A and B are shown apart, each in its own frame.
Chain A
């Protein structure tokens, strides 16, 4: 199983999952089609108020997409948060489309078998 701690050059888009404690969290490079689809999904999401709940200390804590400029879309518990240097924007994702698309883009074998889209771990408490 291959994992990385995001030591890739900043010129690339990165998808990752916050999940491990001892091992580095898995990250990978999405193909351009996946990125375009994710951004389109983001544009369709409705603005949300409040912030998502904090993930538990151990286990799945959300997935993210990071662009070459350092902006990051984090998906967890039915919300997607866009953060850049100056602000955070929250949008609701009740069907967890964005999160599932992130997880579905993982190369085969990279994620634990009980972390695929629809797996119990993806459902927040």
Chain B
């Protein structure tokens, strides 16, 4: 008869497994013999996905021992399995199995591992005592799940920041060319510079004009907003995953505040300095646009 014991401890690596046979098996099974049934208050569940030691998984290969299921778990001397919620006959059975003189030594995992495991067994006991079993609310879902990450630290470095402008940032497309609407399509905006001249240039770059977006995220792609400083310049904002907007004024750093230092829930109402004309919302379908 073989007893397969898995040390449930790792996350990325496979857990250590040791197979017991003969007298060793009989010895361990005697220690695992169900003792008194756990009282309701004592049945502290195991945390489903804590990091570190989570107990031992015991599998009986071959004939079953009376009173023990095919597969069950041991944690801090408690046995859990089908029709099994009992104290082990030897509550220190884990220390026996995992100790430096126990069956686990055959895996040659080292003395350090044995010491760590001993500490982990104690840690699991503490976790079970103070584990909060109430429902944890899931954080608020991203409002714009397709929107690019807000990662100013990626843009605000010397090799990228001066060479990429609001159009690069808005479309989330680094070109290092200070991209101009329409340039890649041979349809640059014309003078006088206005919403009417920049909008078709961006459409030529395959941005999708969506004036009715009304600050709502598209189902696919991400939302950008075009504003104009009449006969001066254009500027783009982009809507982030959390529903707020950010922008990169020219060669300056990416920021998530407006000219008054406030967050930007809607570029139509933001302090935009001289960019007084709000033109439109547009959608950037990732991979569809071409800018230069």
Interface residues of A (CB under 8 A from B): 1, 5, 18-25, 56-61, 112-115, 121
Contacts and interface: CB of A to CB of B under 8 A. Distances in A.
Top 7 nearest A-B pairs (CB, nearest first) are A59-B273, A58-B273, A112-B232, A22-B234, A56-B259, A21-B235, A20-B233
Given A5-B178, A21-B234, A22-B165, A57 B258 contact: yes
B191 A21 contact: no
A114 B165 contact: no
Q: Which of A56, A58, A113 has the most CB of B within 10 A?
A: A58
Q: Which of B165, B198, B252, B273 has the most CB of A within 10 A?
A: B273
Interface of B: 165-167, 178, 180-181, 191, 198, 229, 231-236, 247-252, 255, 257-259, 272-275
B273 A22 contact: no
A23 B273 CA distance: 16
A114 B275 CA distance: 12
Given A21-B233, A57-B258, A1 B191 contact: yes
Contacts of A57: 247, 249, 252, 255, 257-259, 273
Contacts of A60: 274
Nearest to A115: B232
A5 B181 CA distance: 16
Q: Which of A57, A59, A114 has the most CB of B within 10 A?
A: A57
B180 A21 contact: no
Nearest to A5: B178
